[in-house]
Structure 1
């Protein structure tokens, strides 16, 4: 027989919070000979009264059920549960439901008083989830055990493109808590034959959140953009395959050409007085101010990469990219590109 006070999927959480299910596996001695004694000679398993099931086999302390008007007692023949008087009791057995009011008596004595003699294979489950006491007598019993265990907090690391690479900060302190798990437990013939995990309800542990910086001032020429995060104002972040990030304030669609020293009147020094090198870009200073740091990618996939506006000689929405050889300039030709203005 499977005992389910509520549908498992819809109401298991609510049921387990208020339930105090007491499973009593009674031995065959609870027949005519047991009726003459106060002791059931039984194995009692209590669930819902502690963080996990309690087996009354002498290995644990006797629990206090006085708030339920019940008392666990022990004697030479084992354990039994004594009831206070005037408790409403329903007994379910062989498809019938009997009702009575308890006297100051043990559960085994109550069953005997109601004319119920257990077979060697039957067990008694005592459900305290409602105001009345419900006893179910059956050969097979399934119940759900709520187990609470201490759980250490986890540390979650989150990339922050606004923090310099190599730095980190704790934005939420972690806190240890309690994890609550549900197990389905099956008893048959007075023995536990199965205990299986059902689900984890919740945990009170609080994750520690650590932000680590990924922002860099430049990336290597072999590093490639893995993704781009854009903001509504046109700014955003370039996220590279290495994990490094570059923040940009603007992405400009422009036309790119190429030049090299000694051709077309180009000199070996720039308008700002530096020597030309790969990464030097000639701009219209009214469009892109001199000294601006950029990351440039053509629309057909050529990565020019990190660059600085150091030279002049072009007009309008154009950039002229420095290459070391005239052949590279010819191969590059004229292409559409995106110029990311770096912060």
Structure 2
């Protein structure tokens, strides 16, 4: 049996309609779910921030929804020190900038002390305030107070003081930086010679209202001539009768050259000290013959007269011999050395002698080595290179032959005429200080031989 065709078609249409309705429902559900997901995604995007973290030369960028400073640094793996500083700034859009300023040390030097303070930012003025260092108007600060602080910066505060200086009688007031008196004088361009005197130690510290006094001391060597008075000597002779006298040698004064040192303080002569003296012309004593012979009896007058004539001739010859001997001594001055040799010399000096020693390898002022036989003198009196012979006046020490090679303050100020070199302190101590005679055998040329 065949079914009606119409009914069959109707059933197919009904089945097709039911399937279409199901598809529409599914599409609607999926649309709603997509919209919800999209809305959620847009909300997350809106809340997420891009954070740029600057830590010195290092830069890190992260995305986060957390705006807590510590949470941001923890997420970025950044650790802070105790004194580090963090600045968080929101920029346009979803941006955030985090700047980390690391703490560092700053050293401040003032009044002989060094203080250290910790800063992450600021100026020199901030560091001075933190270190509780007071700066006066006259003080100088390096770097300047407005300079930005940097790691391990060294800040120095130099104090200035007003001092009074009396230099050779003239007084001035000057401002000088902190330091020693020697540094203050150098700052002011005031030079001291080795002989100048300062009323305080040069290494003492400068302080406010310090009063300095400088005495300029100079020495001048002068020479003067002085007469040596002749002596009157009586000489007994049996060539003359008792009561008779006869001048055998006329007296004449000698001359000595006196070398002295004058001391001037601030241009004024304060003292004069004799350094040495030497005889340039010997005095000739007046010798008077005094008769001791008895007068003869009258009967023997003729014989006595003849005898007197013969004695006069003998006396004259003797007098001539004496005169010749003296002239020879005056022309050639000599002494006898330790070996018994007769040595000629140019001149001699008598005065105080001292002794010194020096470390091995030392040199003298003339460039010669410091060693026994090389002695210190005043080269204005005895030039370097002069050949000398030196003995003590008490006869206890014969230093012997020497060379003028060195000098020293005592030789210039006149407290000694020679400083003898020995190898050891013990030898110097044994010699001590004693009067000596220096014979100048050969004149030096004051040349430097180093």
Common topology (TM > 0.5): no
State the TM-score, normalizing by the size of structure 2.
0.23
* Larger relative contact order, structure 1 or 2 (CA cutoff 8 Å, min sep 6): 1
The structure having more radius of gyration, on CA atoms, is 2
State the TM-score, normalizing by the size of structure 1.
0.30
Which structure has the highest helix share of the two?
2
Which structure has the highest strand share of the two?
1
